[in-house]
Each structure stands twice: as structure tokens, then as C-alpha cells.
Amino acid sequence: EASDTRVGDLAGRRVVVTAGGTREPLDPVRFLGNRSSGKQGVAIAEAARERGASVTLIAANLEVARPEGCDIRAVSTALELRDAVREAAVGADVVVMAAAVADYRPAVVSEAKLKKDPGSDDGLTLELVRNPDILAELGREPHDGTLLVGFAAETEPDAERLLELGRAKRRAKGADLLAVNRVGWTAGFAADDNVVTVVDGDDTVVAELHGTKSSVAQGILDVVVSKLAPSS
Ligand code: CTP
Ligand code: CA
């Protein structure tokens, strides 16, 4: 059985996984968010733990149960996630950026609950500013000995174009591996199953995975193990 060869193959390794979706506050009661449930990231954290790694899970608003046996750091916004992952990434063997990180946040966070203007029926325009690209930052900095794994959520229906988007994204971010998955109104997020293509630093497709999020997690970790330098 394939699973036998996986027992303990991450022993002695430190793996950091981000999971879930960030929330960017507008005021004390409102936020801009996304539909990521955290299922795929949590499945990767669990699988890495099972395979012997010491796992830090940076958990952003998970809609699934927290896995056992992992060091869990709860965060909410992209800026909090950035601080937590940068701290945890120091000396890590693997960083997996499975979280859906908001690209923008409201320029101003109101201290008081925002009120409608009683004198007008006008709409509301929100000003947003860019969040830092956490994976690209890690990819730009020296990260010898730390394998960087990104995800790309794309709505592109054409498989060949989807793969090209994934390759371009991996290059742009300086990630060592990128797992591309197609998302839609429902596909991808809360679903139990996932379909993922993994590309490596040579633009080669190194895995095509489909099945439960936990079997996809095992497949991604198989690739990770194959790319890790021998442990000292
Ligand atoms: N990511 C990140 N920081 C951000 C946005 C994304 O670290 N501010 C990471 C995600 O965790 C994921 C990868 O970058 O591993 C790709 O995220 P994705 O949203 O697919 O790509 P973007 O680069 O944000 O491009 P776009 O949303 O414009 O397609
Ligand atoms: Ca994005």
C-alpha cells in the first residue's frame, strides 16, 4: 500500500501551513471576506502531522474543526497572517500557503459602526488598499532550506490555460511548488473533494490529484517529500 511508504517520511521536519480565508474589517461589526473554508489547508496540516512533521497551522477564520496535534495560531486579517507566517517560517522546512488571503483591505477601519446617510439614497463607494503579497515576499527573500508551496485559485475553465496561469503565478511569486485548483461559485471551497495540478520550479506538472481533500493533501505532501533536501 502506498500509504505505508509515507509513514514518518516527514519526521524531524517543521511544516507551516496557512489555512482559511482572511477577513478585512470595515468597522467593529463588518468585514470583507471570501469563501475559503480552510478544509484543504487543514487536511494538509493533518496529513503532515500524521507523517511525522511538527506542524504550525496559521488558522484564518476556519469553518472546519481544528486538527489535533498541531501548534495553532489564530489570525483574522491578511496583516495578522503575514506576521504569524513570517515568524513561524524561520527555520521551517516547508511553508504551505493554502489560505485565501485578501488582496485588498478597506483603507480606513471605522472605530464606530458605519451609519447610512439619512439624507440620501446614494450608494456607497469603499476605498480599498492593497495587502502585501505574503508568498511573493517569502519567495523574494533568501529561503534556503525552506520549500515554498503556493496555491492558485482560478476560475479559468480551460485546463491548458488554467495550467499556464498556475505556471505564471508560481514564477511571479518565486514559489518552489504551486498547486493550481479551479474554483467557482461552489467548486473548491466548502466541497469535500478537490482537483489540483501541481507544478514545480521547472514548470513541470509533477502531480495531478483528484479526490477527497485529504487524499489531495497526501499527494501534495508526496511531491513535497520528493523535493526536500535530505535531512541532517
Ligand atoms: N497570497 C499571499 N498573499 C496575498 C495574496 C495571495 O500570500 N496577498 C498567496 C495565496 O495564499 C496563494 C497564492 O498567493 O498561495 C496565490 O493566491 P491567488 O489569490 O491565487 O493569487 P494572486 O497572486 O493574489 O493573484 P490574483 O488573485 O490576482 O489572481
Ligand atoms: Ca488573490
**pLDDT, tens only, 68-119:** 999 999 999 999 999 999 999 999 999 999 999 999 999 999 999 999 999 9
Mean pLDDT of all residues in 105-134 = 96
Per-residue pLDDT for 144 more than 70?
A: yes
Q: Is 150 in the pocket of ligand 1 (CB under 6 A)?
A: yes
Ligand 2 centroid distance, CA of 101 (Å): 6
- Residue-number span of the structural domain to which 24 is assigned: 2-103+129-227
169 is in an annotated binding site: yes
116 labeled part of a ligand binding site: no
- Indicate whether 213 belongs to any domain: yes
Say what the pLDDT of residue 194 is: 86
Does 2 score more than 80 pLDDT? no
pLDDT classification of 3: cutoffs 50, 70, 90: low
pLDDT of residue 188: 62
Question: What's the number of domains the chain is made of?
Answer: 1
Ligand in nearest proximity to the CA of 162: 1
Is 121 part of a structural domain of the chain? Answer: no
The residue type at 119: G
Contact 180, 208 (CB under 8 A): no
Mean pLDDT across the chain: 94
Q: Which amino acid is at 58?
A: I
**189-198 residue pLDDT tens:** 667 778 899 9
170 domain residue, yes or no: yes
- Per-residue confidence (pLDDT) for residue 187, from 0 to 100: 59
**Of residues 34, 131, 181, 194, which has the active-site annotation?**
34
Residue 37, CB-side half-sphere exposure with 13 Å CA sphere: 17
pLDDT in tens, 36-59: 999 999 999 999 999 999 999 999
CB 192 within 8 A of CB 209: no
Residues, beta carbon < 5 Å, ion ligand 2: 103
User: What CATH number did the domain enclosing 70 receive?
Assistant: 3.40.50.10300
Which pLDDT belongs to residue 193? 78
The pLDDT score that the predictor gives to residue 6 is 87
| 194 catalytic per annotation | no
